[in-house]
Structure 1
Amino acid sequence: MSVIVLAGMIGAGKSTYTTLISEELNSTAFYEQVKDNAILEKFYDNPKRWAFSLQIFFLNTRFRSIKQALVHRHNVLDRSIYEDALFTRINYEQGNMSEAEMSLYTDLLDNMMEEIDGMPKKGPDLLIYLRGSLDTHLERIQKRGRPFEQVEGNPELLDYYKKLHSRYDDWFASYDKSPTLVIDIDEINLELPGHQELVMKKIKDALKETQEV
Protein backbone atom coordinates (compact mmCIF):
# COMPACT_ATOMS: atom_id res chain seq x y z
CA MET A 1 0.00 0.00 0.00
CA SER A 2 1.45 3.38 -1.02
CA VAL A 3 0.08 6.64 0.33
CA ILE A 4 1.44 9.73 -1.44
CA VAL A 5 0.61 13.31 -0.50
CA LEU A 6 1.38 16.43 -2.53
CA ALA A 7 2.42 19.70 -0.91
CA GLY A 8 3.02 23.15 -2.29
CA MET A 9 1.71 26.66 -2.51
CA ILE A 10 -1.38 27.72 -4.39
CA GLY A 11 -0.72 27.30 -8.11
CA ALA A 12 2.01 24.67 -7.74
CA GLY A 13 0.11 22.13 -9.84
CA LYS A 14 -0.84 19.66 -7.11
CA SER A 15 -4.06 18.51 -8.77
CA THR A 16 -2.30 17.95 -12.11
CA TYR A 17 0.40 15.89 -10.41
CA THR A 18 -2.23 13.97 -8.45
CA THR A 19 -4.02 12.99 -11.66
CA LEU A 20 -0.77 11.91 -13.32
CA ILE A 21 0.40 9.86 -10.34
CA SER A 22 -2.97 8.21 -9.75
CA GLU A 23 -3.21 7.16 -13.40
CA GLU A 24 0.38 5.91 -13.59
CA LEU A 25 0.24 3.98 -10.30
CA ASN A 26 -3.41 2.93 -10.57
CA SER A 27 -4.14 4.75 -7.31
CA THR A 28 -7.24 6.46 -5.95
CA ALA A 29 -7.00 10.26 -6.16
CA PHE A 30 -8.22 12.52 -3.37
CA TYR A 31 -8.73 16.13 -4.49
CA GLU A 32 -9.11 19.31 -2.48
CA GLN A 33 -12.68 20.60 -2.59
CA VAL A 34 -12.77 23.78 -4.67
CA LYS A 35 -15.82 23.57 -6.92
CA ASP A 36 -18.11 22.44 -4.09
CA ASN A 37 -16.65 24.89 -1.58
CA ALA A 38 -19.14 27.69 -0.98
CA ILE A 39 -16.76 29.50 1.39
CA LEU A 40 -13.59 29.74 -0.73
CA GLU A 41 -14.65 32.58 -3.01
CA LYS A 42 -16.18 34.44 -0.04
CA PHE A 43 -12.81 34.21 1.72
CA TYR A 44 -11.00 35.88 -1.16
CA ASP A 45 -13.63 38.64 -1.17
CA ASN A 46 -13.58 39.18 2.61
CA PRO A 47 -10.80 37.24 4.38
CA LYS A 48 -11.41 38.76 7.81
CA ARG A 49 -15.02 37.51 7.77
CA TRP A 50 -14.42 34.06 6.29
CA ALA A 51 -10.86 32.92 7.16
CA PHE A 52 -11.83 30.89 10.22
CA SER A 53 -14.79 29.25 8.49
CA LEU A 54 -12.63 28.36 5.50
CA GLN A 55 -9.86 26.84 7.61
CA ILE A 56 -12.35 24.74 9.59
CA PHE A 57 -13.90 23.57 6.31
CA PHE A 58 -10.51 22.52 4.94
CA LEU A 59 -9.40 20.98 8.23
CA ASN A 60 -12.53 18.83 8.31
CA THR A 61 -12.28 17.69 4.68
CA ARG A 62 -8.53 17.02 4.89
CA PHE A 63 -8.99 15.02 8.09
CA ARG A 64 -11.66 12.91 6.38
CA SER A 65 -9.40 12.38 3.35
CA ILE A 66 -6.29 11.35 5.30
CA LYS A 67 -8.32 8.92 7.43
CA GLN A 68 -9.69 7.29 4.29
CA ALA A 69 -6.29 7.35 2.59
CA LEU A 70 -4.43 5.66 5.42
CA VAL A 71 -6.69 2.59 5.27
CA HIS A 72 -7.01 2.51 1.47
CA ARG A 73 -4.84 0.33 -0.73
CA HIS A 74 -3.15 2.85 -3.06
CA ASN A 75 -3.89 6.56 -3.13
CA VAL A 76 -2.58 10.06 -3.68
CA LEU A 77 -3.82 13.31 -2.09
CA ASP A 78 -3.40 16.68 -3.79
CA ARG A 79 -3.13 18.41 -0.39
CA SER A 80 -3.11 16.96 3.09
CA ILE A 81 -3.80 17.92 6.69
CA TYR A 82 -0.06 18.21 7.35
CA GLU A 83 0.30 21.66 5.80
CA ASP A 84 -3.11 22.96 6.83
CA ALA A 85 -1.82 24.80 9.89
CA LEU A 86 0.53 26.92 7.74
CA PHE A 87 -2.41 28.58 5.97
CA THR A 88 -4.20 29.13 9.27
CA ARG A 89 -1.12 30.66 10.88
CA ILE A 90 -0.69 33.11 7.99
CA ASN A 91 -4.33 34.15 8.27
CA TYR A 92 -3.92 34.68 12.00
CA GLU A 93 -0.76 36.75 11.54
CA GLN A 94 -2.47 38.91 8.92
CA GLY A 95 -5.33 39.69 11.30
CA ASN A 96 -7.91 37.57 9.49
CA MET A 97 -8.50 35.39 12.56
CA SER A 98 -8.77 36.20 16.26
CA GLU A 99 -6.61 34.65 18.96
CA ALA A 100 -9.64 32.70 20.21
CA GLU A 101 -10.26 31.29 16.73
CA MET A 102 -6.61 30.35 16.34
CA SER A 103 -6.68 28.59 19.71
CA LEU A 104 -9.82 26.64 18.79
CA TYR A 105 -8.35 25.64 15.43
CA THR A 106 -5.09 24.46 17.04
CA ASP A 107 -7.00 22.41 19.62
CA LEU A 108 -9.06 20.74 16.88
CA LEU A 109 -5.97 20.00 14.79
CA ASP A 110 -4.10 18.51 17.76
CA ASN A 111 -7.11 16.30 18.53
CA MET A 112 -7.25 15.09 14.93
CA MET A 113 -3.52 14.41 14.74
CA GLU A 114 -3.75 12.29 17.90
CA GLU A 115 -6.38 10.15 16.19
CA ILE A 116 -4.20 9.79 13.08
CA ASP A 117 -1.25 8.77 15.26
CA GLY A 118 -3.41 6.00 16.69
CA MET A 119 -4.19 4.46 13.31
CA PRO A 120 -2.41 1.26 12.14
CA LYS A 121 -0.76 3.30 9.34
CA LYS A 122 0.35 6.52 11.00
CA GLY A 123 1.45 8.56 7.99
CA PRO A 124 2.03 8.64 4.24
CA ASP A 125 4.78 6.74 2.49
CA LEU A 126 5.97 9.81 0.60
CA LEU A 127 5.36 13.56 0.60
CA ILE A 128 6.15 15.34 -2.68
CA TYR A 129 6.93 19.05 -2.28
CA LEU A 130 6.35 21.03 -5.48
CA ARG A 131 8.78 23.87 -4.96
CA GLY A 132 9.16 26.90 -7.20
CA SER A 133 9.66 30.64 -7.36
CA LEU A 134 6.82 33.02 -6.52
CA ASP A 135 6.76 34.14 -10.17
CA THR A 136 6.12 30.57 -11.34
CA HIS A 137 3.24 30.19 -8.91
CA LEU A 138 1.72 33.53 -9.91
CA GLU A 139 2.01 32.66 -13.61
CA ARG A 140 0.19 29.37 -13.03
CA ILE A 141 -2.49 31.05 -10.92
CA GLN A 142 -3.06 33.50 -13.76
CA LYS A 143 -3.16 30.70 -16.34
CA ARG A 144 -5.64 28.68 -14.27
CA GLY A 145 -7.95 31.66 -14.53
CA ARG A 146 -10.05 31.53 -11.36
CA PRO A 147 -11.15 35.17 -11.06
CA PHE A 148 -11.06 35.29 -7.26
CA GLU A 149 -7.40 34.11 -7.16
CA GLN A 150 -6.02 36.87 -9.38
CA VAL A 151 -3.71 39.51 -7.86
CA GLU A 152 -4.28 42.26 -10.44
CA GLY A 153 -5.72 45.21 -8.58
CA ASN A 154 -5.55 43.32 -5.29
CA PRO A 155 -2.33 44.17 -3.39
CA GLU A 156 -3.61 42.50 -0.19
CA LEU A 157 -3.97 39.17 -1.98
CA LEU A 158 -0.48 39.53 -3.48
CA ASP A 159 0.88 40.18 0.01
CA TYR A 160 -0.89 37.00 1.24
CA TYR A 161 0.70 34.97 -1.56
CA LYS A 162 4.15 36.46 -0.86
CA LYS A 163 3.94 35.67 2.85
CA LEU A 164 2.65 32.16 2.23
CA HIS A 165 5.40 31.46 -0.31
CA SER A 166 8.13 32.79 2.00
CA ARG A 167 7.13 30.32 4.73
CA TYR A 168 6.85 27.11 2.74
CA ASP A 169 10.51 26.08 2.93
CA ASP A 170 10.45 26.42 6.73
CA TRP A 171 7.29 24.35 6.89
CA PHE A 172 8.89 21.68 4.70
CA ALA A 173 12.04 21.64 6.83
CA SER A 174 9.93 20.91 9.90
CA TYR A 175 7.86 18.14 8.28
CA ASP A 176 8.72 14.75 9.78
CA LYS A 177 5.81 12.39 9.08
CA SER A 178 7.34 10.57 6.11
CA PRO A 179 10.15 10.46 3.54
CA THR A 180 10.04 13.37 1.08
CA LEU A 181 10.78 14.22 -2.52
CA VAL A 182 11.29 17.76 -3.87
CA ILE A 183 10.30 18.56 -7.46
CA ASP A 184 11.48 21.91 -8.84
CA ILE A 185 8.52 23.30 -10.77
CA ASP A 186 10.71 26.06 -12.21
CA GLU A 187 12.56 23.32 -14.10
CA ILE A 188 9.82 20.69 -14.54
CA ASN A 189 6.78 21.36 -16.73
CA LEU A 190 4.46 18.39 -17.23
CA GLU A 191 3.33 19.83 -20.57
CA LEU A 192 6.83 19.45 -22.05
CA PRO A 193 7.90 16.22 -23.80
CA GLY A 194 9.54 13.72 -21.48
CA HIS A 195 8.83 15.60 -18.25
CA GLN A 196 5.99 13.33 -17.13
CA GLU A 197 8.25 10.31 -17.56
CA LEU A 198 11.04 12.07 -15.64
CA VAL A 199 8.70 12.90 -12.76
CA MET A 200 7.32 9.38 -12.54
CA LYS A 201 10.85 7.92 -12.48
CA LYS A 202 11.74 10.20 -9.56
CA ILE A 203 8.59 9.16 -7.70
CA LYS A 204 9.03 5.43 -8.33
CA ASP A 205 12.69 5.61 -7.25
CA ALA A 206 11.68 7.45 -4.07
CA LEU A 207 8.96 4.89 -3.29
CA LYS A 208 11.43 2.08 -3.85
CA GLU A 209 13.81 3.65 -1.34
CA THR A 210 11.03 3.90 1.27
CA GLN A 211 10.16 0.24 0.78
CA GLU A 212 13.79 -0.79 1.13
CA VAL A 213 14.06 1.13 4.39
Structure 2
Amino acid sequence: MKGDNNAVIVLAGMIGAGKSTYTKLISEALESDAFYESVDDNRILEKFYEDPKRWAFSLQIYFLNTRFRSIKQALQHQHNVLDRSIYEDALFTKINHQQGNMSDAEMDTYLDLLDNMMEELDSLPKKAPDLLIYLRGSLDTVLSRIKKRGRSFEQIDGNEGLLDYYTLLHSHYDDWFDQYDKSATLVIDIDQHDLENPADAEKIIQLIHNKLESMN
Protein backbone atom coordinates (compact mmCIF):
# COMPACT_ATOMS: atom_id res chain seq x y z
CA MET A 1 0.00 0.00 0.00
CA LYS A 2 1.41 3.36 -1.03
CA GLY A 3 -1.01 5.63 0.81
CA ASP A 4 -4.62 6.52 1.45
CA ASN A 5 -5.55 6.31 -2.24
CA ASN A 6 -4.69 2.61 -2.39
CA ALA A 7 -6.50 1.54 0.76
CA VAL A 8 -9.22 -1.07 0.97
CA ILE A 9 -11.04 -0.35 4.23
CA VAL A 10 -13.78 -2.46 5.81
CA LEU A 11 -16.06 -1.44 8.65
CA ALA A 12 -17.14 -3.83 11.39
CA GLY A 13 -19.50 -3.56 14.32
CA MET A 14 -22.89 -4.24 15.77
CA ILE A 15 -26.18 -3.70 14.03
CA GLY A 16 -26.86 0.00 14.55
CA ALA A 17 -23.22 0.95 15.19
CA GLY A 18 -23.22 3.42 12.30
CA LYS A 19 -21.24 1.54 9.65
CA SER A 20 -23.05 3.07 6.68
CA THR A 21 -22.66 6.59 8.07
CA TYR A 22 -18.95 6.03 8.68
CA THR A 23 -18.56 4.50 5.22
CA LYS A 24 -20.05 7.61 3.60
CA LEU A 25 -17.83 9.91 5.65
CA ILE A 26 -14.64 7.96 4.97
CA SER A 27 -15.26 7.37 1.26
CA GLU A 28 -15.93 11.07 0.69
CA ALA A 29 -12.85 12.12 2.69
CA LEU A 30 -10.57 9.67 0.87
CA GLU A 31 -12.34 10.11 -2.50
CA SER A 32 -12.83 6.36 -2.72
CA ASP A 33 -15.70 4.10 -3.76
CA ALA A 34 -18.26 3.02 -1.17
CA PHE A 35 -19.83 -0.43 -0.97
CA TYR A 36 -23.10 -0.48 0.96
CA GLU A 37 -25.12 -3.43 2.12
CA SER A 38 -28.62 -2.79 0.79
CA VAL A 39 -31.53 -3.42 3.13
CA ASP A 40 -34.20 -2.47 0.59
CA ASP A 41 -33.09 -5.20 -1.84
CA ASN A 42 -33.02 -7.90 0.85
CA ARG A 43 -36.29 -9.83 0.64
CA ILE A 44 -35.34 -12.13 3.53
CA LEU A 45 -34.20 -9.74 6.27
CA GLU A 46 -37.61 -8.66 7.53
CA LYS A 47 -38.85 -12.26 7.35
CA PHE A 48 -35.94 -13.28 9.58
CA TYR A 49 -36.92 -10.77 12.26
CA GLU A 50 -40.48 -12.13 12.16
CA ASP A 51 -39.47 -15.82 12.27
CA PRO A 52 -35.75 -16.41 12.97
CA LYS A 53 -35.97 -20.20 13.08
CA ARG A 54 -37.56 -20.33 9.62
CA TRP A 55 -35.31 -17.81 7.90
CA ALA A 56 -31.92 -17.72 9.69
CA PHE A 57 -30.13 -20.12 7.32
CA SER A 58 -31.56 -18.47 4.20
CA LEU A 59 -30.56 -15.05 5.48
CA GLN A 60 -27.00 -16.07 6.29
CA ILE A 61 -26.53 -17.66 2.88
CA TYR A 62 -27.90 -14.47 1.28
CA PHE A 63 -25.49 -12.30 3.27
CA LEU A 64 -22.56 -14.62 2.63
CA ASN A 65 -23.16 -14.47 -1.11
CA THR A 66 -23.54 -10.67 -1.26
CA ARG A 67 -20.54 -10.04 1.02
CA PHE A 68 -18.41 -12.44 -1.02
CA ARG A 69 -19.33 -10.57 -4.20
CA SER A 70 -18.55 -7.21 -2.57
CA ILE A 71 -15.16 -8.18 -1.15
CA LYS A 72 -14.08 -9.69 -4.50
CA GLN A 73 -14.94 -6.42 -6.24
CA ALA A 74 -13.30 -4.35 -3.52
CA LEU A 75 -10.04 -6.28 -3.62
CA GLN A 76 -9.87 -5.78 -7.39
CA HIS A 77 -10.60 -2.02 -7.29
CA GLN A 78 -8.23 -1.49 -4.32
CA HIS A 79 -9.57 1.96 -3.40
CA ASN A 80 -12.81 1.68 -1.48
CA VAL A 81 -14.69 1.35 1.78
CA LEU A 82 -17.15 -1.43 2.69
CA ASP A 83 -19.78 -0.91 5.36
CA ARG A 84 -19.79 -4.64 6.22
CA SER A 85 -17.54 -7.47 5.05
CA ILE A 86 -17.37 -11.22 4.81
CA TYR A 87 -14.89 -11.36 7.70
CA GLU A 88 -17.51 -10.94 10.43
CA ASP A 89 -20.26 -12.86 8.64
CA ALA A 90 -19.64 -16.10 10.53
CA LEU A 91 -20.22 -14.35 13.87
CA PHE A 92 -23.88 -13.74 13.01
CA THR A 93 -24.27 -17.32 11.83
CA LYS A 94 -22.74 -18.73 15.00
CA ILE A 95 -25.08 -16.63 17.14
CA ASN A 96 -28.08 -17.92 15.19
CA HIS A 97 -26.82 -21.47 15.64
CA GLN A 98 -26.23 -20.88 19.34
CA GLN A 99 -29.79 -19.58 19.73
CA GLY A 100 -31.24 -22.63 18.01
CA ASN A 101 -32.27 -20.78 14.86
CA MET A 102 -30.05 -23.02 12.71
CA SER A 103 -29.45 -26.76 12.85
CA ASP A 104 -26.02 -28.41 13.11
CA ALA A 105 -26.35 -29.51 9.48
CA GLU A 106 -27.11 -25.96 8.35
CA MET A 107 -24.19 -24.61 10.34
CA ASP A 108 -21.82 -27.18 8.83
CA THR A 109 -23.08 -26.36 5.33
CA TYR A 110 -22.54 -22.64 5.92
CA LEU A 111 -19.00 -23.11 7.29
CA ASP A 112 -18.04 -25.36 4.38
CA LEU A 113 -19.25 -22.76 1.90
CA LEU A 114 -17.46 -19.97 3.79
CA ASP A 115 -14.18 -21.94 3.76
CA ASN A 116 -14.57 -22.48 0.02
CA MET A 117 -15.08 -18.76 -0.55
CA MET A 118 -12.13 -17.77 1.64
CA GLU A 119 -9.89 -20.12 -0.36
CA GLU A 120 -10.91 -18.29 -3.52
CA LEU A 121 -10.08 -14.93 -1.93
CA ASP A 122 -6.63 -16.30 -1.11
CA SER A 123 -6.06 -16.81 -4.85
CA LEU A 124 -6.61 -13.12 -5.69
CA PRO A 125 -3.61 -10.81 -6.26
CA LYS A 126 -4.79 -8.73 -3.29
CA LYS A 127 -5.96 -11.20 -0.65
CA ALA A 128 -7.33 -9.02 2.14
CA PRO A 129 -8.25 -5.43 3.05
CA ASP A 130 -5.61 -3.01 4.25
CA LEU A 131 -7.52 -1.83 7.29
CA LEU A 132 -10.49 -2.96 9.36
CA ILE A 133 -12.20 -0.29 11.47
CA TYR A 134 -14.10 -1.70 14.43
CA LEU A 135 -16.92 0.51 15.69
CA ARG A 136 -17.05 -0.47 19.34
CA GLY A 137 -19.76 0.81 21.67
CA SER A 138 -22.02 -0.10 24.55
CA LEU A 139 -25.22 -2.05 24.00
CA ASP A 140 -27.17 1.00 25.20
CA THR A 141 -25.62 3.15 22.48
CA VAL A 142 -26.37 0.55 19.82
CA LEU A 143 -29.98 0.11 20.94
CA SER A 144 -30.45 3.88 20.99
CA ARG A 145 -29.22 4.17 17.42
CA ILE A 146 -31.38 1.26 16.25
CA LYS A 147 -34.39 3.02 17.74
CA LYS A 148 -33.39 6.35 16.18
CA ARG A 149 -33.08 5.04 12.62
CA GLY A 150 -36.57 3.61 12.97
CA ARG A 151 -36.68 0.38 10.95
CA SER A 152 -39.80 -1.21 12.40
CA PHE A 153 -38.59 -4.80 12.17
CA GLU A 154 -35.40 -4.00 14.15
CA GLN A 155 -37.19 -2.57 17.19
CA ILE A 156 -37.10 -4.45 20.49
CA ASP A 157 -40.36 -3.05 21.90
CA GLY A 158 -42.53 -6.07 22.63
CA ASN A 159 -39.90 -8.45 21.24
CA GLU A 160 -37.90 -9.98 24.07
CA GLY A 161 -36.35 -12.53 21.74
CA LEU A 162 -34.87 -9.80 19.57
CA LEU A 163 -33.33 -8.08 22.60
CA ASP A 164 -31.77 -11.43 23.58
CA TYR A 165 -30.35 -11.72 20.05
CA TYR A 166 -28.83 -8.23 20.15
CA THR A 167 -27.43 -8.83 23.65
CA LEU A 168 -25.82 -12.14 22.73
CA LEU A 169 -24.39 -10.76 19.49
CA HIS A 170 -22.97 -7.72 21.27
CA SER A 171 -21.35 -9.86 23.96
CA HIS A 172 -19.36 -11.79 21.33
CA TYR A 173 -18.10 -8.90 19.22
CA ASP A 174 -14.92 -8.17 21.19
CA ASP A 175 -13.94 -11.86 21.05
CA TRP A 176 -14.48 -11.86 17.30
CA PHE A 177 -12.34 -8.74 16.93
CA ASP A 178 -9.55 -10.18 19.10
CA GLN A 179 -9.34 -13.16 16.72
CA TYR A 180 -9.41 -11.13 13.51
CA ASP A 181 -6.01 -11.31 11.78
CA LYS A 182 -6.53 -10.44 8.11
CA SER A 183 -5.30 -6.84 8.23
CA ALA A 184 -4.33 -3.89 10.36
CA THR A 185 -7.10 -2.62 12.65
CA LEU A 186 -8.37 0.59 14.18
CA VAL A 187 -10.90 0.80 17.01
CA ILE A 188 -13.30 3.75 17.21
CA ASP A 189 -15.34 4.24 20.37
CA ILE A 190 -18.83 5.18 19.17
CA ASP A 191 -19.86 6.05 22.73
CA GLN A 192 -17.43 8.96 22.55
CA HIS A 193 -17.97 10.14 18.95
CA ASP A 194 -21.04 11.48 17.18
CA LEU A 195 -20.63 12.05 13.44
CA GLU A 196 -23.40 14.65 13.52
CA ASN A 197 -20.83 16.79 15.34
CA PRO A 198 -18.43 18.19 12.68
CA ALA A 199 -15.55 18.25 15.17
CA ASP A 200 -15.99 14.55 15.89
CA ALA A 201 -16.21 13.74 12.18
CA GLU A 202 -12.99 15.67 11.53
CA LYS A 203 -11.29 13.86 14.40
CA ILE A 204 -12.32 10.46 13.02
CA ILE A 205 -10.92 11.25 9.57
CA GLN A 206 -7.65 12.40 11.11
CA LEU A 207 -7.40 9.17 13.11
CA ILE A 208 -7.86 7.17 9.91
CA HIS A 209 -5.32 9.25 7.97
CA ASN A 210 -2.81 8.79 10.80
CA LYS A 211 -3.41 5.05 10.85
CA LEU A 212 -2.98 4.68 7.10
CA GLU A 213 0.20 6.77 7.15
CA SER A 214 1.64 4.63 9.97
CA MET A 215 1.11 1.54 7.81
CA ASN A 216 3.28 2.82 4.93
TM-score, length-scaled by structure 2? 0.97
**Farther off after superposition, 7-16 or 113-122:** 113-122
Which of 54, 69, 72 aligns to 1:67? It is 72
Determine the C-alpha separation between the residues in 1 that align with 2:83 and 2:160: 28
Aligned counterparts, 1:26-37, within 5 A: 26-37=31-42
Determine the C-alpha separation between the residues in 2 that align with 1:61 and 1:132: 26
* Structure 2 residue matching 1:16: 3-state secondary structure: helix
Q: CA deviation at 1:193?
A: 3.2
Aligned counterparts, 1:186-197, within 5 A: 186-197=191-202
User: Which residue number in structure 2 is paired with residue 130 of structure 1?
Assistant: 135
Determine the C-alpha separation between the residues in 2 that align with 1:73 and 1:133: 32
TM-score, length-scaled by structure 1? 0.98
Amino acid at match of 1:155: E
User: Which residue number in structure 2 is paired with residue 51 of structure 1?
Assistant: 56
Determine the C-alpha separation between the residues in 1 that align with 2:122 and 2:175: 23
Aligned counterparts, 1:109-128, within 5 A: 109-128=114-133
Q: CA deviation at 1:118?
A: 1.2
**Farther off after superposition, 186-195 or 45-54:** 186-195
Where does structure 1 lack aligned partners over 5 or more consecutive residues?
none
Determine the C-alpha separation between the residues in 2 that align with 1:123 and 1:209: 18
Q: Deviation string for 1:20-77 (max 9, x for gaps)?
A: 1111111110011211000000000000000000000000000000000001041000
Determine the C-alpha separation between the residues in 2 that align with 1:184 and 1:154: 28
Query: Is 2:156 aligned against 1:151?
Result: yes
Query: Is 2:43 aligned against 1:38?
Result: yes
User: Which residue number in structure 2 is paired with residue 171 of structure 1?
Assistant: 176
Determine the C-alpha separation between the residues in 2 that align with 1:193 and 1:123: 31
Q: Deviation string for 1:114-148 (max 9, x for gaps)?
A: 11111111110100000000000000000000000
User: Which residue number in structure 2 is paired with residue 22 of structure 1?
Assistant: 27
Task: Could you list the structure 1 runs, at least 4 aligned residues long, displaced by more than 3 angstroms after superposition.
Answer: none
Which of 99, 107, 110 aligns to 1:102? It is 107
Where does structure 2 lack aligned partners over 5 or more consecutive residues?
1-5
**Farther off after superposition, 76-85 or 27-36:** 27-36
Amino acid at match of 1:133: S
Q: Determine what percentage of the aligned residue pairs are the same residue.
A: 73
